[in-house]
Amino acid sequence: MTILTSAENFSHDGLQQLEMRLRRARLGLGVGVLGIVMVFVSFTSAYIVRQGLPTLDPRTNTLVHDWFPLPLPALLFFNTGLLLISSVTMELARRQVARSTTPTRAASIPNVFAGREGTILWLALTAVLGLSFLKGQWTVWREMEASGFYVASSPSSSFVYLLTGTHGVHLLGGIFALLTAGATVLFRRPAESRVVVLDVTAWYWHFMTLLWVYILCLLEFAG
């Protein structure tokens, strides 16, 4: 295999290799994302089912509904904003790397000068925003606890913690991916690797944002 050095040009073979690696990585990510989606599909169905579930009240021997939607702290929406912006910065990083290594391709990618430093900046910003989101989620949890809503307080509170918690864990995984992407860019790994790693990281990150928006809508509108 032609191991590409830090030179930013790709031969025809090199481009073919890159396309193949990119296609394979994206396919793998898509498949993996589908696996994760099923976890949240299950949570969603449990959520919907639980809302409508009557339970036997032994006192009256009748079936009663015990679902009371939880008022969502406003901070949750601010956090959402952070995550949305982080997706933008992530996308900027991804495009920058993609552009910088394919100057000869007829591009759906606009032509702008590149710079490794720029990419690192965008990645760092994404990481900061991501971490702020997670910190914000943690604060939301403290707020909920302060209002008396712990994980086992009510069925709806259980789901809020469950959904935000599971998403948070996956986002943390995304942060690790960001660190890997940063290392890849910083330590001058082959250009091909940079493109692929940034691409996979970015799409995973966008999936995390989309997933979060979905969860928020579920909690807000289907509560």
What part of residues 67-86 is at the interface with other proteins (CB under 8 A)?
none
d(Cα 153, Cα 146) in Å, to the nearest integer?
12
Residue from 8, 24, 77, 142 touching other proteins (CB under 8 A): that is 24
Burial label for 17, CB within 10 Å (0-12, 13-18, 19+), is middle
Tell me the closest approach of the beta carbon of residue 187 to other proteins, in angstroms: 18
Asked whether position 61 contacts other proteins by CB under 8 A, the answer is yes
d(Cα 15, Cα 17) in Å, to the nearest integer?
5
Residue from 15, 46, 128, 218 touching other proteins (CB under 8 A): that is 46
Strands (E), 16-159: 54-57, 62-65
Asked whether position 110 contacts other proteins by CB under 8 A, the answer is no
Asked whether position 158 contacts other proteins by CB under 8 A, the answer is yes
Record the tokens describing residue 103, joined without a space: 């100057």
Q: Which residue, 43 or 78, has its beta carbon nearer to other proteins?
A: 43
Q: Which residue, 10 or 122, has its beta carbon nearer to other proteins?
A: 10
Tell me the closest approach of the beta carbon of residue 44 to other proteins, in angstroms: 10
Closest CA to 72 of 159, 131, 5, 7: 159
Asked whether position 152 contacts other proteins by CB under 8 A, the answer is yes
Record the tokens describing residue 15, joined without a space: 């481009």
Record the tokens describing residue 183, joined without a space: 């290392």
Q: Which residue, 102 or 158, has its beta carbon nearer to other proteins?
A: 158
Residue from 7, 12, 58, 110 touching other proteins (CB under 8 A): that is 58
Tell me the closest approach of the beta carbon of residue 48 to other proteins, in angstroms: 11
Strands (E), 28-183: 54-57, 62-65
Asked whether position 148 contacts other proteins by CB under 8 A, the answer is no
Asked whether position 36 contacts other proteins by CB under 8 A, the answer is yes
Residues in Cβ contact with 216 at an 8 Å cutoff, skipping those fewer than 6 apart = 76, 77, 80
- Residue 57 main-chain phi, psi, to 5 deg: -90, 105
> Which residues of the chain form contacts with other proteins (CB under 8 A)?
1, 23-24, 27-28, 31-32, 34-43, 45-46, 49-50, 53, 55-56, 58-61, 66, 151-152, 155, 158, 162, 166
